[in-house]
Structure 1
Amino acid sequence: MTDRSYEGPWNENPHHDSHPGYGPYPQPYPQASAPRQPSPHPGPQQWPGPQQWPGPQAYGDPQDALQHTQQWQGPTWDTQTHPQLSAAAATAETAYLPPVEAPEPAAAPAPPQPPAAAPAPPAPHGDEPAYGPATLGGTPRLTDAQRARAEGRSPIIDPGMQPAALTALLGLLLAGAAGLGTYALLVPLVVLQAVTAAGWFRLNGMWPARQGIALGFAGALVADVAVLSAGRESAPAAVLGTLGVWVLLSLVLQLRSHADPDERMYGLMATVASAALAIVATGYLAADPDAAAIGAAAVAAAVLARALPLPTAASAVVALLAAAGMGIVVDGMTDMGAKGALLGTGAAVCALIGHRVAAYDYPSRFVHFTAGVTLPLTAAAPVVWVLGRVLG
């Protein structure tokens, strides 16, 4: 024991505020105290150093100890000094609630009036999706072709003069290459088959479809190799055999797809049609070189005449006459005689069918420059082969 009085932990930290129940002595209820007087000297407040705190043994009277005990200067919460709300009073305060009025039933709507016919949308340019404006009633969006049919308009847009010029250029290349030899004809024929496979998928609204395009183009290459290997006499068996194998491969490819059944069926039909068209174009390679030259040149003339700014019926007649005339012109350079006009007319009829297919259903510009360029020549290939064998 020392003579030094007890120095408590509260005085070590001058910023510490004691809490009731935790001091060395029991503390009474808060008592009012005089307000704190402001310091007469401005500036930072000076805190006193450690003070001597008398211990409990220094006071004999508990009241004297309470005078030196730190007192709580703020309001406190005492559950015993606040009145308790009875259950009846609490229920009475919350028993009355304002009544909730039910909304009045709305009046029955008047019978709906038929909507006014919307103006015809312009034809799409480029590869933008051909859809009508968005709907607010939850009805499905209509394509421009469906809207055109509903409004009684034609969904046909012809490719135009630029695709026709490309078709004519490719047809003349086929005609010139056929006169040079079989392997020379193979170069423009491969281009025709590749663009046909790609254009058919885009015409059906399926893009990109790399597997289907690759499958159709591979079938065309296999058919070309088969015809070159078997010869022109066995060309029908080579072409039909390749076509049968590729139909089976297309079926297997679509069966492995995880798409919906409807989408798989639609993809199967598009793949089979694309492969069939690309393989059928091998008819130029299987036909007699003179027949191939006459047919390709006649298609070139027919498509150019069809693109002229004339009524549809008039341009079709002009196209057939131009094809017949081209057949006669090319016939003078070959050994087929006067049969060239008939061959050219037959090729032109199939070319016009392919031209109309490429113009169907509001096609895009990409369709015009793929399917619009190649379908006239591709559709004429079987007729060129058949008429070449019959007339030759």
Structure 2
Amino acid sequence: MRDPLSKKVVTIEPSGIRKFFDIVSEMKDAISLGVGEPDFDTPWHIREEGIYSLEKGRTFYTSNSGIKELKIEICRYLNRRFGLYYDYDHEAIVTVGGSEAIDIALRAMLDPEDEVLVPQPSYVSYVPCVVLAGGKPVIIELKEEDEFKLTREGLLNAITDKTKVLVLPFPNNPTGSVMTKEDLAEIVPVLIEKDLFVISDEIYSELTYGRDHVSIAEFPGMRERTIVINGFSKSYAMTGWRLGYAVGPAAIIEQMIKIHQFAIMCAPTTSQYAAIEALKNGDGDVEIMREAYDQRRNYLVKAFHDMGLSCFEPFGAFYVFPSIKSLGMTSDEFATKLLMEEKVAVVPGTAFGSCGEGFLRISYAYSIDNLKIAVERIERFVKKHCE
């Protein structure tokens, strides 16, 4: 019997995040700091709007690209927050999470062997999505000494005559690094000169600390070559609602809608009505959650420094990325032993690319009480293995 499996799919490694999550889910008294999911409930007024939509019988398919009112609110939000203007009717699509938006953007833009630049460490889905779309991922290693930012030099060194797309993953998962307006200004001329397109994943745009998020699409000459990806999971604590969106040039969005139409049909109707409420009246909720994350961020950075571990200070998302190189263990070895000995789950940095070796991703999307217990256990583990 012939092999029923696609060689392309078989060669893709499973997510390194889920491995530890699956183990800890069956371990009594374990604390998981591994999954990037807010510990807050979706704010009640947003849930209520979803419930109301069901009570009103709004249970049918929507337009493939999303409910008109939601697309209008998305475009209004982007305009008031970042000064970006998009035509809701031709330049916006509502997707099943930001992950689907990334996937269909790549599939809409790539031909076989087109090269896609993927800075790492970064979100686990970028490379597999490039491969599944028939493209060739080219890794740009982000370095701690550069604050895990994409530099002009790093970008130039990776570009070839086959390069078509740059994935721009900021604020960054797993490092928490952000690109300031000045940082982006360094790479914009390169992107325009080399005629590259950008998929700018801005899912953590509302979760920045001490500095405002800047979209690369704000720069002259970049709007027409950028797909902005965003969504509701992180800022509004709506992970299970599975709702994201993309905005960009009409020609690209049109092809993304075509793929979405055949593969998905439309994003969940109930979620779309809830998201309208989030955009209209959710700013205060975002601020409350951001303040809580900032408190946890400061606590963890200090805690790791007090343990004697180097820890880059993140200015975005809800992760810290401490270095464990001084302990002489690999990231996977540290995470595995920590889980078995102290019942704390963290994610090895290598889950986000080989250049993540020597680091751990620790989410602070958990209560401060849980974080304090976890820190006590991690500190005990570190002291034990430093002896």
Q: Same fold (TM over 0.5)?
A: no
Which is strand-richer, 1 or 2?
2
For the superposition of Structure 1 and Structure 2, which TM-score range results when normalised by the shorter chain?
under 0.3
Structure 2 length as normaliser, TM-score?
0.20
- Which of these two proteins has the greater Rg computed from alpha carbons? 1
